Amino acid sequence: MFKGSLVALITPMTEDGALDPKAFQDFVAWQIAEGTQGLVPVGTTGESPTLSHDEHRRVVELCVEAAAGRVPVIAGTGSNSTAEAIELTRHAKEAGADAALVVTPYYNKPTQEGLYLHFTAIADAVDLPIIIYNIPPRSVIDMSVETMARLAKHPNIVGVKDATANLTRPLHTRLSCGTEFCQLSGEDHTALAFRAAGGVGCISVSGNVAPRLCAEMHAAWEAGRIEEAMAIQDRLTPLHDAMFCETSPGPVKYAASLLAKSSAHCRLPMAPVAESTRARVKAAMVQAGLLN
């Protein structure tokens, strides 16, 4: 259903911090032209924690409109409030999104049973494919393989974005959830290794600024050109390092500004990136052939 190079989209803003709808839709069009196979608006990279609910919904609508059915749109709809997650998921369906990306609830630290009940409630309430977003570094909790296997039995829960960087996880998930359960890496460095362990793609941050390279890497892997895929991986690794040398999305929005795709502005509490980060990001982009 979803595979290859998918991108966790930034949300372009003006220098004073307002949404920039034209820049966002132009960015979506560029991503598709460069070969991106799926779009993920209003995730962490899209600064969902600091968007108002109206802004959140607007970004999903803009993405669906700009994509125009050419590639799937997986809208971020997670919340640590189950009722709020249901509301956002309903909106994503109404807006025409192809699926919802639902993060494990942050801050309130539910038990595994709480996670099961949370995701089941959303899947029962909205007839839309749901991808679980498991990212312990940001949400503190880690959904177990056993809980995921329980959830995989629900017809609306179709996969996982796994940002654990634990490469034994997809092996056990494949055995427990079945080969049809869509496993996507949520960590750029592990994209190919994750595919070798049973994954089918990656929801990427680096893809915001290197969409063609990311798409070509996955295409090479799928065609069995493993050495070519690994050569692209080598080219991208310093860029991945730079994208996370400060908390994302600071570095990637600065990188996008160097390509004139967005301002570098992030809303507080995200601070402007340090001068050393700017230098590292620019150097990595030059090394990858993204800048002269």
Residue 233, pLDDT > 90, answer yes
The candidate with the shortest Cα–Cα distance to 77, out of 113, 34, 121, 33, is 121
Kindly list the catalytic residues: 133, 161
* 117-146: average pLDDT: 97
> Domain ranges in the chain?
4-222
pLDDT for residue 82:
98
Q: In terms of pTM, does the model score above 0.95?
A: yes
Q: Tell me if residue 238 falls in helix, strand or coil.
A: helix
* Cβ(40)–Cβ(72) below 8 Å: no
* Rounded Cα gap, residues 42 and 74, in angstroms: 9
The candidate with the shortest Cα–Cα distance to 202, out of 210, 214, 213, is 214
pLDDT for residue 273:
98
User: For 23-74, what is each residue's pLDDT tens digit?
Assistant: 999 999 999 999 999 999 999 999 999 999 999 999 999 999 999 999 999 9
Superfamily of domain 4-222: Aldolase class I (3.20.20.70)
Query: First vs last Cα of the chain: how many Å apart?
Result: 37
The candidate with the shortest Cα–Cα distance to 286, out of 210, 204, 173, is 210
pLDDT for residue 69:
98
Tokens of 48: 């969902």
Q: Which residue has the tokens 């919904």?
A: 57
User: For 247-265, what is each residue's pLDDT tens digit?
Assistant: 999 999 999 999 999 999 9
Bin 142: left if φ > 0, else alpha if -120 < ψ < 50, else beta: beta
All residues at 6 or more sequence positions from 269 whose CB lies less than 8 Å from its CB, including other chains: none
Query: For residue 1, what pLDDT band results from cuts at 50, 70 and 90?
Result: confident
Residue 191, pLDDT > 90, answer yes
pLDDT for residue 46:
98
